[in-house]
Structure 1
Amino acid sequence: MMLALYGHRFSSFTWKALIPLYANGTAFEFRDVDPGAEDGPANMDFVRKVHPAGKFPVLVDGETTVIEATSIAEYLAVHHPGEAPLIPADPAQATTARMMDRVFDNYVMGTAQLVVNAYLADAQNPDPQQVELGREGLKRAYTWLDAWLAENTLPPHVSLVTCAAAPSLFYADWVKRIPADCPRVAALREEALALPAVARCVEDARPYRDYFPLGAPERD
């Protein structure tokens, strides 16, 4: 039975699951949860049934259901490996990969989401405290990342870190531009977006840019 991935093409965490599938050329069926998709409502009902918070992406592999994007990438590395080294073989490097995965999810994407949520709640009058908290948090995250990248090396693409860094930096830069004094972070974003698996996600998400509550910039 072919793998099935439930998600939305504009979702950063859906990208995180799509990138390893695309990078390794893994056969799968995409099951769109967008309300306008033919089976969107039914697919979303399935997600609500199998995830404790009704969140996507969700991967189904025969009788196995895997929730949470990081766990999906880890599952694919074990059960559907390919040329892309999703999880480094060296245990110490694997620990670093998992650490940076959490940094990008929690402190880049999670912090950017504070601003997005403020605009979702009230696009005309977003909570200024939440907007400031998110944007200042992103500046701290960018600064930390740039310093870390100056002294450390990421696993080769496409790894678990790529799967987390690409979507989080793509959308976070829309919320608060990566500043000029963080050139390594900007270079990592550019490098990640040039990868075929990531570029495919960017293009597939393009029709949904009106969904971005701050207004999608005319770039990327």
Structure 2
Amino acid sequence: MMPILYGHPFSSYTWKALIALYEKGVAFDYRILEAEWPQHGAELKSHWPIGKFPLLVGDDGRAWFEASIIIEYLDHLVPEPRLIPQDFEAALRVRLLDRVFDNHVMTPMQEVVNDALRGPENHLPMIVDKAKAALETIYGWLDQELAAGGWAAPSGFSLADLAAAPSLFYADWVHPIAETHANLRAYRARLLAHPTVARCVEDARPYRAYFPLGAPDRD
């Protein structure tokens, strides 16, 4: 049975799983969560009642959810190219950065997006200001961490970069990365030029009208 991925091309966490699948050359059945395919949502909830995506059904019929866990599963299923190093210290560094990008870039970015989704009548400036301040702080930290250039971790393109690509793509739309953070800006550009990431960017382009703040005319 071919693996099945439930997700959406504009979903940041779906990107994480997609990039891993593309990097490893895994053939899969992509079931997009859109109104024109209502059965996909029902199928997703039959595997995971919470209904959040991405979710991958493996060739053994088992369902895996949470993007980082899906990538762990794929690394076991198709060991090369490895996205999580086998060396303990190197793997720990990659997993740490994965959590940094998810929790300290993606999460505050989503707070700003959620505020826009609530509408102007329910706008909460304090939440938005706090989220943008958090992004500014993590931008500064990442700018120092990425001073050496290359990918996020010394081990090469990894789970950390899979987390970084969508989080920095959308975070820069919400709170632009200042020119003073040249290392981080260059890293984001490298990510968006990477073939598997560029594929996600292009596939998501038709859905940019979904972005509640208005997608900028760039990227």
Tell me the distance in 2 between the aligned counterparts of 1:109 and 1:147. 19
Aligned to 1:119: 116
**Does structure 1 conserve the Cα–Cα contact (< 8 Å) formed by 2:19 and 2:196?**
yes
| 1:116-169 Cα shifts (integer Å, max 9, x gaps) | 000011157632112111111110110111122237961455310111000000
The verdict on how the C-alpha distance between 1:72 and 1:27 changes in structure 2, with shifts beyond 3 A counting, is same
Aligned to 1:77: 75
Aligned to 2:129: 132
Give the Å deviation of 1:201.
0.2
Aligned to 2:180: 181
Give the Å deviation of 1:85.
2.4
1:209 aligns with 2:179: no
**Does structure 2 conserve the Cα–Cα contact (< 8 Å) formed by 1:142 and 1:178?**
yes
Which segment drifts farther, 102-111 or 123-132? 123-132
Aligned to 2:20: 20
1:108 aligns with 2:105: yes
Aligned to 1:35: 35
SS in 1 for 2:146: helix
**Does structure 1 conserve the Cα–Cα contact (< 8 Å) formed by 2:83 and 2:158?**
yes
The count of aligned residue pairs is 216
Aligned counterpart for 1:142 among listed residues 139, 142, 158? 139
Aligned to 2:4: 4
Runs of at least 5 residues in structure 1 that lack an aligned partner in the other structure: none
5 Å-filtered alignment, 1:153-172, equals 154-172=153-171
**Does structure 2 conserve the Cα–Cα contact (< 8 Å) formed by 1:59 and 1:67?**
yes
CA RMSD of aligned residues (A): 1.7
Tell me the distance in 2 between the aligned counterparts of 1:172 and 1:21. 23
**Does structure 1 conserve the Cα–Cα contact (< 8 Å) formed by 2:112 and 2:174?**
yes
Tell me the distance in 2 between the aligned counterparts of 1:156 and 1:18. 21
Runs of at least 5 residues in structure 2 that lack an aligned partner in the other structure: none
SS in 2 for 1:53: coil
Tell me the distance in 2 between the aligned counterparts of 1:48 and 1:114. 25
Tell me the distance in 1 between the aligned counterparts of 2:164 and 2:145. 14
Among all aligned residue pairs of Structure 1 and Structure 2, give the percentage whose two residues are the same amino acid.
50
Aligned to 1:98: 95
**Does structure 2 conserve the Cα–Cα contact (< 8 Å) formed by 1:86 and 1:158?**
yes
The verdict on how the C-alpha distance between 1:68 and 1:206 changes in structure 2, with shifts beyond 3 A counting, is same
Q: Normalised by the size of structure 1, how large is the TM-score?
A: 0.93
Q: Which amino acid aligns with 2:101?
A: F
| 1:40-80 Cα shifts (integer Å, max 9, x gaps) | x2111222232353200000013211010000011100112
**Does structure 2 conserve the Cα–Cα contact (< 8 Å) formed by 1:85 and 1:157?**
no
Aligned to 1:191: 190
